[in-house]
Amino acid sequence: MTSKRLDFPSAGRNANAIAQVLAAELPAGPCAVLEIASGSGQHGVQFCREIPNISWWPTDLDPAHLNSINAWRVHADLTDRIHVATALDVCAENWRTGQIQKEWPKKFDAVVNINMIHISPWAATLGLMEGAAQVIRPGGVLVLYGPFKKHGKHTAPSNADFDESLKSRNSAWGVRDLDEVAAIARAQGLTLRTEIAMPANNLSLIFARA
């Protein structure tokens, strides 16, 4: 039987660097983390191995990704800390209005979103912010990772090339501007607290909920 576990090379390349950010930014005690657009599920496995105090709640929209996430949690023997993946659309009304799944905690210490907003319509970024503001506890954080423009300009030629490639595949996609992302987050009560330079001209952004 073919394994349902997907292998995304980018997850292997960036997981350690992102784990270091999360270890520094998340609470030291027991910490419930909701991941939006979990992809293959490899990130959650790596993060739980490196950060012993977190419990991970993965989500995705793609059925193949949901199957992969669940296969990875079993393969890694982390079913006690990585929960069964939930189907979630950040543009859906129930997410945007905070009608969370009954099996979820009432509030999360953090929401994590890696490499999604540039390969989805802008409406997905809006929905991400609206829902995250509903499910993060006061003092909790939203963590974004990916490429961003700054003040309307690309931070590296490789990011400009990547942006063109994305738009050629789907005109609604593209590298987002940090100022615009921060503005819509602020409108939902999420304030950009920390900006961290990452490998390959990416950024980790930490938004705090007041």
Among 2-6, 45-49, 189-193, the range scoring the smallest mean pLDDT is 2-6
Q: Would you state the pLDDT for residue 48?
A: 97
Nearest Cα neighbor of 192 from 126, 142, 127, 119 is 142
Q: Would you state the pLDDT for residue 107?
A: 95
Neighbours of 38 (CB within 10 A): 31
Query: What is the identity of the amino acid at 71?
Result: A
pLDDT in tens, 138-173: 999 999 999 999 999 999 999 999 999 999 999 999
**Is the pLDDT score of 198 beyond 60?**
yes
Stretch 28-42: mean pLDDT: 96
Q: Where are the domains of the chain?
A: 9-209
pLDDT in tens, 109-139: 999 999 999 999 999 999 999 999 999 999 9
Bridge partners (DSSP) of residue 45 are none
Q: Would you state the pLDDT for residue 51?
A: 97
**Is the pLDDT score of 27 beyond 90?**
no
- How far is the CA of 60 from the CAs of 71, 114, 116, in angstroms? 14, 12, 11
**Is the pLDDT score of 1 beyond 80?**
no
Fold of 9-209: Rossmann fold (3.40.50)
**Is the pLDDT score of 2 beyond 80?**
no
Q: Would you state the pLDDT for residue 114?
A: 98
Query: What is the identity of the amino acid at 200?
Result: A
Stretch 41-56: mean pLDDT: 97
